Amino acid sequence: MGLFSPAVHPNIVLVVMDTARADAFEPWGAAPGTTPAVAQLASSGQCLTNVRSTANWTVPGHASMFSGELPRTLGLCQLGSDSLDCRPQIATAGDKWLPEVLRRNGYETSAVSTNLWISELSGFDAGFDRFENVYSPRARNMGDSGVRARLGWAREIALARADDGATQADALIGRWLEAERHGPFFWFVNLTECHSPYLPPRPFNDLNLLRRIQAADEARSNLTLESIWKTSLGARRVPRHALQRMRHLYQCSVSAMDRWVERLLQRLDDHSLLGDTIVIVTSDHGENFGECGLIGHCFSLDDRLLRVPFVASRPGFADSQMASLAEFPRAVAEVTGLKDHPWRQPVAAPGIAVAQMEALATLEKSQEVIHLWALDERAIDLVTTSSTCAVEGKVKLTRRDDGLELLYLLDLDTDESSPITLNGHLPQGTQETIARLRHAIDAADDKITTAVPAVPNGDREERETARIALKMRELGYL
């Protein structure tokens, strides 16, 4: 083990469980014993029960977590698979990029990610001394319709041995632990075990052989990007038994991630680092499993997608009144005692979380798919509407780009299926809260930046482009 002298600032380990919704964890309502490591962190450290993401998918959620900016301020709400490179948008964050700020303050910065969106290719390596991407090859056959591919996919899932990169990430952490260190460190880990297709390895996958093969076939049918979009737009239906199996395996995947966290904490303790380290476990967004007709994480800013778990091994985060992942950099700076940091002003008033969603396409550009999928008015609305929402307590206000305002009283409308259209009349007792939420949305919308187009990489070889496309398909993005 390398020598390490404790510094003024504590070490930081940030574990992002990609696609993990809050209610899959014990502190947020999951059954006792489901996530014991996270529950223990919440008990011995700190648990923030009402933290929300700033968006409904990976890139903008992480961008806010690293910059302290809202997604549409950076122009990072919506990107196509041909715009994997986010460097132009990340550059607009300037000196507010958390890994770079920590590096300037003497931190050694390292990252490992199992998600292609969060990678060197996308530009998320900014500020890191070393950035490693690891991928599981197991999903290579998922989107291939050939007989051999289908058999290979079924065999892989039947064996249930491989994960989505967590084992490789664990090995990298082991090497980092053994390396010599010359100051405090910031380690960032993105794990996609909770992401579709929700097929954890044994022993966490407790289905018998036949059920595992059925789950593999259901994933091929229902969890490609096109299938997720069509289902969420009402153009196809996922059988109830398939949704139930997805939910079960998703919870199994969360349990697998909890075990990973338990091992991480033990290894830090074994190397006498746990006492000098703040371990943070959170997520970038959640997931839908048929609620309001939605699956995956698209076309919505509902709380199942926005509300994320947040636990830390050391108190202090509550002092920042953090309600949003956009407040995370400022909270880290305050908890670690950084004097030189750029996040002096909160993104919104204390206790208010703001999130944004960009329309997938304009009405004009959607005509072909509208006709092909026979989309109804609801579906057309989902595809072509941009929205900003603000939440305080149990009151949520969403403003669409056409000016329509929708109010959700979350204690009465838990699944957000019955919004109240505001037409001048405000429900009794909500007037002051709605005024604050409108102010937060106004402030957010004033900072919207036209998306900075990603410049195509002319130096990228055809083989590399094909490799990227393959990885995007494996992750369900193509």
Question: What pLDDT was estimated at residue 372?
Answer: 93
CB 77 within 8 A of CB 334: no
Mean pLDDT of all residues in 454-471: 46
Which phi and psi angles does 423 have, rounded to 5°?
-130, 40
Does residue 1 surpass a pLDDT of 80?
Answer: no
Task: State the average pLDDT for the chain.
Answer: 89
Neighbour count for residue 385 (Cβ, 10 Å): 17
CA-based nearest residue to 20, from 41, 35, 32: 35
- Can you identify the CATH homologous superfamily of domain 11-351+452-474? Alkaline Phosphatase, subunit A (3.40.720.10)
- Name the H helices within 10-96: 36-44, 58-67, 71-74, 87-91
Question: What pLDDT was estimated at residue 478?
Answer: 45
Does residue 452 surpass a pLDDT of 70?
Answer: no
CA pair distance 187, 265, nearest whole angstrom: 13
Mean pLDDT of all residues in 60-74: 95
Question: What pLDDT was estimated at residue 457?
Answer: 42
Q: How confident is the model at residue 84 (pLDDT cuts 50, 70, 90)?
A: confident
Task: List the single range of 259-263, 304-308, 474-478 with lowest mean pLDDT.
Answer: 474-478
Whole-angstrom CA distances from 112 to 58, 165, 181, 327 are 15, 10, 18, 23
Does residue 412 surpass a pLDDT of 50?
Answer: yes
CA pair distance 134, 163, nearest whole angstrom: 11
Q: Which residues pair with 391 in a beta bridge?
A: 353, 396
Q: How confident is the model at residue 232 (pLDDT cuts 50, 70, 90)?
A: very high
CB 472 within 8 A of CB 96: no
Question: What pLDDT was estimated at residue 139?
Answer: 61
Annotated domain spans of the chain: 11-351+452-474, 367-445
Question: What pLDDT was estimated at residue 75?
Answer: 87
Helix (H, G, I), strand (E, B) or coil at 352: strand
Question: What pLDDT was estimated at residue 464?
Answer: 47
Mean pLDDT of all residues in 442-449: 90
Percent of the chain with pLDDT over 90: 73
C-beta contacts of 381-386 below 8 A and 24+ residues apart? 382/232, 382/233, 382/299, 382/300, 383/233, 383/299, 383/359, 384/359, 384/360, 385/359, 386/77, 386/356, 386/357, 386/358, 386/359
CA pair distance 326, 402, nearest whole angstrom: 25
Of 121 and 305, the structure prediction assigns the larger pLDDT to 305
Angle at CA of residue 126, ends 120 and 127, nearest 5°: 135
Does residue 12 surpass a pLDDT of 60?
Answer: yes
Per the confidence metrics, is the pTM higher than 0.95?
no
Q: What is the pLDDT of residues 323-367, one digit of tens each?
A: 999 999 999 999 999 988 999 988 999 999 999 999 988 888 889
